[in-house]
Amino acid sequence: ALEDYQLVLLDQRGTGLSSPVSEPVGSPADQAEYLTHLRADEIVEDCEDLRRHLGVERWAVLGQSFGGFTMLRYLSVHSESMSAGYFTGGLSAVGRHADEVYRTTYATMATKSEQYYARFPGDRDRIRELLELAADGGVSTPNGDLVSPSRVRSLGHLLGASGGAGQLHYLLEREPSSRAFRYDLAEMLPFGGRNALYAVIHESSYADGCTTAWSAARTLPESFEQDPTLLTGEHLLPGWFDEDSSLRPWKETAEIVADHPWPTLYDADALAASQVPCAAAVYFNDAYVPLQFSMETAALIPGMHPWVTSQYEHNGSNASGGAVLDRLITLARGEIAR
């Protein structure tokens, strides 16, 4: 990026040094109301305030994953402020219900699970044994929290990133009662208290004008019920707010947020009218941002140059050492990518 631009890095509201969400403040209802102001729509307005403060007429914007969702909102309401847009694994579904997104990501995770077991055949039995142990209360984190079978299955989120399959395999080689296993397990589980915001309002990122009502839990396929060795990805279950002591203080707030009627984020007509040159890395096997919806969204944007690749997973922007962004900059300029 620095070869082409002066770089401004934003800590989105509620994260980093931007008044990070740490512990619940006030009543659960008050906390939930506060969290409704931390979505992409208000983050975009923060970006506009910052742009004006810096005296910048137009700037190029890079969005990775949820950052790409935020950039879609930017294109919907302030495309005149953008000189270019670069999406890496972040072309979200427009006008789709969150349920549709989660059903599709479950299907992707079923495929990724089978691919993982084909690579490490012995690990299916290891997962099955670990699930049985967890059902008997025999799997725990170093602080004493028991890990349920559903949370064990959530280790599948590792399969959505380059190198993640190896991480999971090496974890399963360890004895579940060992100190190393328990510490490594705690670090690898998604949705913990270190970044509570990620858990509490995660589903809102897919809510383009709907109430999510624990969408991932409601859309769990029957095939996953029948075969517990199928691993899940970025699928949050409400029971984890009881199970994880670091999430427990957020339980009531999360229940309120799950019933919140979220307004629409994207304007399909505005996206179709935008003239901003854009390029997007669309990862063919993306576990979190489904290919089919990304391509639907890409088709809405006249200036979009989608690059579909199976070379990288969702973390391709980092894993590629800069190659992904370099290609996107070239594509957005209308040059032949090399």
- Domain residue limits, the chain: 39-95+264-332, 105-202+231-258
Q: What is the pLDDT of residue 335?
A: 86
Q: What is the pLDDT of residue 205?
A: 95
Which pTM was predicted? 0.95
Task: Per residue of the chain (338 residues), give pLDDT as tens.
Answer: 999 999 999 999 999 999 999 888 899 999 999 999 999 999 999 999 999 999 999 999 999 999 999 999 999 999 999 999 999 999 999 999 999 999 999 999 999 999 999 999 999 999 999 999 999 999 999 999 999 999 999 999 999 999 999 999 999 999 999 999 999 999 999 999 889 999 999 999 999 999 999 999 999 999 999 999 999 999 999 999 999 999 999 999 999 999 999 999 999 999 999 999 999 999 999 999 999 999 999 999 999 999 999 999 999 999 999 999 999 999 999 986 54
Q: What is the pLDDT of residue 24?
A: 87
List all residues 6 or more positions away from 211 whose beta carbon is below 8 Å from its beta carbon: 258, 259, 260, 261, 262
Q: What is the pLDDT of residue 337?
A: 52
Task: Kindly report the CATH number that applies to the domain delimited by 39-95+264-332.
Answer: 3.40.50.1820
